[in-house]
Structure 1
Amino acid sequence: MCLYLPRHLGDVVATDATDGERQPLSATPGETILIVEDEIAIRQLVSEILGEAGHRILEASTGPAGVKVMQSNERIDLLITDVGLPGGLNGRQVADAGRAIRPALKVLFVTGYAANAAVGAGHLDEGMEVLTKPFNIGELERRVHALIRG
């Protein structure tokens, strides 16, 4: 197998090292995000990113576990849920159950499927958004910030 890469002929231009670095959006103290995701690596990554931004993170690996957390007295400002979940409830059902308990709950669906197909013909209530995988960390932070701020 051969791999051909382009070659740059010319001088290297120095740039400021901070140009490409992401600047996380700051969280208001006390903002709590519930992440319902069955893939451990994704759940940990999202938790770490949002935790470093100052959010308080709660985690669940199945739909029923996520609903149980929402039935508790925990403050939850945002639900981030994968659409395809094991355990009998998908992400849309988790969000609907959460909204039955907490009508003003903001929801960010994360999915590897097409956005329209993922959440039932693309119908989203106010305060709900879809983020498709793979996603950019900056886009995740921006969406979370926008949803929480309303």
Structure 2
Amino acid sequence: MRILLVEDEFLIRLTLAEALTDAGYDVLEAESGDQALGVLEQDPSIRVLLTDIQLPGQLNGLALASKARATRPALPVIYMTGRPDTMADTTQGNLDAFIAKPYLPSQVAATVRRLTEE
């Protein structure tokens, strides 16, 4: 299964991408919301969007998810944030999950499995 990981902090992105790859996922990476939107538009095989909320560029993680859902309404989104209090009223039921930083990579992999029921 292909996951798009959007994280501007290189070491966090690298560590999480390696952990998800080790868990059996095909991981694409982006460092900004703008870059991620381009990847999403070009690759219909992406099954999960895993995004930090605070991102450089025009699109933060919430705006990225909103734009992605305009064309792919059933896309599961996992938001990673250091400020979970900012997440009120942004859920899409069972398609969204929020992971507070700091987190364990195994926690992220378990959340991917839960959202995709694999």
Q: Normalising by the residue count of structure 2, what TM-score does the alignment of the two structures yield? A: 0.93
Contact 1:70 1:101 in 2 (8 A): no
Where 1:77 maps in the other structure, the secondary structure is strand
Deviation at 1:74, TM superposition (A): 3.7
Q: Deviations over 1:91-112 (max 9, x none)?
A: 0000111111211100000011
1:103 equivalent in structure 2:
73
2:98 equivalent in structure 1:
130
1:116 equivalent in structure 2:
85
Q: Normalising by the residue count of structure 1, what TM-score does the alignment of the two structures yield? A: 0.74
Identical-residue share of aligned pairs (%): 36
1:91 equivalent in structure 2:
61
**Segments ≥4 residues shifted beyond 2 Å:** none
Question: If each structure's strand is expressed as a fraction of its own residues, which one has the higher value?
Answer: 2
List runs of 5+ in structure 2 lacking aligned partners.
none
Q: Root-mean-square deviation (CA), in Å?
A: 1.3
Which structure's CA Rg is the greater one? 1
Distance in 2 (alpha carbons) for counterparts of 1:57 and 1:128: 19
2:115 equivalent in structure 1:
147
Distance in 2 (alpha carbons) for counterparts of 1:85 and 1:137: 20
Whether 1:52 aligns to 2:17 is: no
Task: Summarize the alignment of residues 62-81 of structure 1 with structure 2, pairs less than 5 Å apart.
Answer: 62-81=32-51
Give the partner amino acid of 2:29: E
